[in-house]
Chains A and B, each alone.
Chain A
Amino acid sequence: MPETRTGGQVTTTVNGSTVPAVADRPGMRRERHQRLQDQMADHGLDGLLLLGTSAVAYATGAAAPGCDSARAALLRSVALVVAGAEAPHLFTPYPEGSPPELPAAHLHAAVVVDLDDGAAVLAEALRGLVGSGARIGCDEVPHPLVRALGEFELVSASGALAAAKLCKTPDELACIRAAQHINEQAMVDVLAFLRPGVRQTDLTARFLRRVFELGAETNGIDPIWQVMPLTKAEGPWTVHGDLAFPTPSSTQVLEEGDVIWVDTGIHVGGYASDFGRTWIVGDDPRPSARQQDQFARWRAVMDAVLACCRPGATAGELTRAAVDADGGRRPWIEHFYLAHSVGTDSAEMPLVGTDLGDAFDDAMVLAPGMVLVLEPVIWDDGAAGYRSEDIYAVTDDGWMALSDHPYDPFVAA
């Protein structure tokens, strides 16, 4: 493991604990369960009923194969967290992925809750495990489940879930770092394979083989190798006049000199990586002076943001530092953000610089364990632009990097 890059005071502790090289997964699951219990108490919930893939992964720690969204919904795993219970309940088609410490009575057969007969089975289980009339936090309630759970009070789970997930434990940070490390290693091999004439899907083939050979548990997104236009006017057309990104990959052939924005993500222990770089297609790609200047501007924004990154700073301070560092321009894409977190979701709170607005950013106070995937974008109309992503965790007195990857073919000044 290379030396960890840090900022602020040179410590790498989060609430007094060091981020371990390898996560203690049973301990991590215990800690998450306790956080959910605390949040349920704060939000007055008797239960949490979670259907979304990332929410189930968070609440139960259960592994599952990566699936297309339609299959992941119809043939889903379901989590039920009961207030005061020692462990969550898991209803799953993949019992082999359930954590070893999960009590046998908490592991249930899969329920097809998007159909009426499956929803009725889950409703019956809820009556037994939580009791009729309970107040249950939910992330999604398909209509059959609405019909089957008429006697329960269903409210949003998002407040409780988001609060539990906001600051990561050292073990969660170790999982994110492990996922990112596999993702980065695979991208070294993909970059070596990049040359004029390859198709986007050829890069995907190389990437998917390598990440699974290296130990990825699931792939999260169809890898993006987007050829950027030189000017915004070249399109594609957008609703806001800013860039179209990301666009899905195809069998498009890459050509000499293409500037491609790369974005990939995999999962380890349920936790997402997020890899973003700008590459240039060529047999011996060398950034022009203008391209190298774009990279220098990007680096300046990153340095300015990291200089503010410590507990107690606000997200608003980060956005202002980024804008100041790029001469008053807002160096990120209109429909996205300067930064987002990763966890069991590939983008989760804190989101920094979104259309939630300045007041939202000013109210978001950084705290130890928060993760920031910084993804400033430098657009230089006429010569495309530069975008990369790096992952940082807020430590007890500064930050530490969870990503560790060169910027080839760009070089730091």
Chain B
Amino acid sequence: MTTTHRARSEHGLDHRAEGGPGDPTSLDDEALRADRRDRLFTAMATHDLDVLVLGRPAEVTFASGARQLWTAGSRPFGPACVVVASTGRTHLLAVSDHGVPPEVAHDDLFGLSWNPVNLVASLAAIGGLAAARRVGTTSSSPGFSRLVAAVAPDAEVVDGGPALEQARSPKSPEEVARIVAATAIAEAGLTAMVDALVPGVTERQLLATYLERIAAVGAPTPPTEGVVCATPRTGPVDRRSIATDAPIEAGQLVVLDPGGFHRGYEGGVGRTLVVGDEVTAAQRDLARRSRESLDAVIATCRPGATGADLCAAWTAAGAPLPPAPLAVGVGLGVEPPVIGAGIGHRHVLAPRTVLAVTGWVATEGVGGYLERDLVLVDETGPQVLSTYGRGPAGEGP
């Protein structure tokens, strides 16, 4: 690793980047970064971790505050960020200081290597790692423990997931504000799709409209490209996430389920509309059933409730559990818990977590109806963070 004495660019960002308080792509505030760091070191102490090795971009954002290049999909685990308790420092895989906050110093950066020998040399230079006894990692791969043994010979490799979950799950008011801002981006995308929803339009065209809009408001990366599903009026009804080129016909129920990111925090909102002006009684009934079930689940989103409680609230209202999860944690992207059919029933909701709660009901001959709202699990009761109207099918916002 080499260092220079040249002054770093201000906040590690290009001088011409806007970076104002409302900019969804700028680095986050110093106070929020410091709060996250404090929570992470506290959680490491709770779980007796000397070092935490992080690999996924959201984890790296949480620990370092750095803005990384967004790529779609999940990659195998590798060390992208190393947090050392004894020194209080956060070391980051980054070639440059662009998008790296000032508290992560030039000496804390290590470069990209394709050669494992060079990677080991970079990691070995990290102060405090060699003496570590317990190294937490957030995932693993065959051979990863050998890599750790090469740089921390006396260390036991343990699951760092619980420590990270402790740090990440409870959201500060500032983090909730980011999620609300991200939800506003999702709502902008939803509005664009609603405006484009006319007979003959395709799912692909609606997806293109959504992606264009979120980019135009300065936040081009989607949580998922699976945002549109036109449900059939005849035959079996499945929730699909891959857009087709089939023209959507008047009278179809169409699921619009967009998301957005604000400084790494995810927001989202899901609604279902009828194409055209005519809404049938059966479609209104489907919407009513969906809403009643979803409201029952949201009312259950209180600290101490279990995943089983949420599932029971859904089924008590009469509809079967959907195949996709009923609730998923949201913060810097999605995070545990995952609650639904066969998963997460023993999970106990912690205060200040945010859940994306999704209701889905389907009836052959009518179509499918989805609503998704983001809910803050608060001591004072569940708070719905999305503001987009939940009007009857076809009435829109």
Contact = CB atoms under 8 A, between A and B. Distances in A.
Contacts of B1: 239
B69 A221 contact: yes
B99 A248 contact: yes
Contact of A220 (B17, B71, B226): B71
Given A156-B142, A239-B109, A68 B72 contact: yes
A17 B139 CA distance: 42
B382 interface: no
Contacts of A138: 141-142
Interface stretch (B6-14, B30-38, B388-396): B6-14
A249 interface: yes
A248 B343 contact: no
B173 interface: no
Nearest to B216: A205
Contacts of B142: 138, 141, 154-157
A74 interface: yes
Contacts of B21: none
B140 A146 contact: yes
A206 B209 CA distance: 10
A150 interface: no
Contact of A208 (B208, B261, B323, B342): B208
Interface SS of B by simple majority? loop
Interface residues of B, number: 95
Contacts of A112: 338, 343
A239 B221 contact: no
Nearest to A241: B2
| Interface range on chain A (Cβ under 8 Å from partner) | 35 or more
A357 B334 contact: no
Contacts of B261: 68
B208 A68 contact: no
A395 to B, nearest CB: 27
B333 A70 contact: yes
Q: Which of B4, B220, B336 has the most CB of A within 10 A?
A: B220
B378 interface: no
B70 A251 contact: no
B343 A115 contact: yes
B134 to A, nearest CB: 14
Interface stretch (B42-50, B237-245, B273-281): B237-245
Interface stretch (B90-98, B296-304, B368-376): B90-98
B215 A251 contact: no
Contacts of A227: 14, 16
A38 interface: no
A31 interface: no
B28 interface: no
A53 B72 contact: yes
A356 B114 contact: yes
A278 B371 CA distance: 44
B113 interface: yes
B106 interface: yes
Nearest to B241: A65
Q: Which of A97, A115, A236 has the most CB of B within 10 A?
A: A236
Interface string B205-218: 10111011101101
Nearest to B73: A53
Given A213-B208, A236-B98, A220 B16 contact: no
A144 B219 CA distance: 33
A387 interface: no
Given A205-B215, A253-B16, A75 B25 contact: no
29 contacts: A54-B75, A65-B226, A65-B242, A66-B225, A68-B221, A69-B57, A71-B333, A71-B334, A73-B56, A114-B139, A121-B342, A138-B141, A139-B141, A143-B139, A143-B159, A154-B142, A213-B205, A227-B14, A236-B9, A239-B1, A239-B94, A247-B14, A247-B99, A248-B99, A251-B218, A252-B14, A252-B18, A354-B114, A355-B113
Given A109-B323, A139-B141, 7 more contacts: A54-B75, A117-B342, A117-B346, A235-B9, A236-B9, A237-B106, A238-B95
Interface of A: 51-55, 63-76, 93-97, 109, 112, 114-115, 117-118, 121, 138-144, 146, 154-157, 199, 201-202, 204-206, 208-210, 212-213, 218-224, 227, 233, 235-241, 244, 246-253, 255, 335-337, 346, 351, 354-357
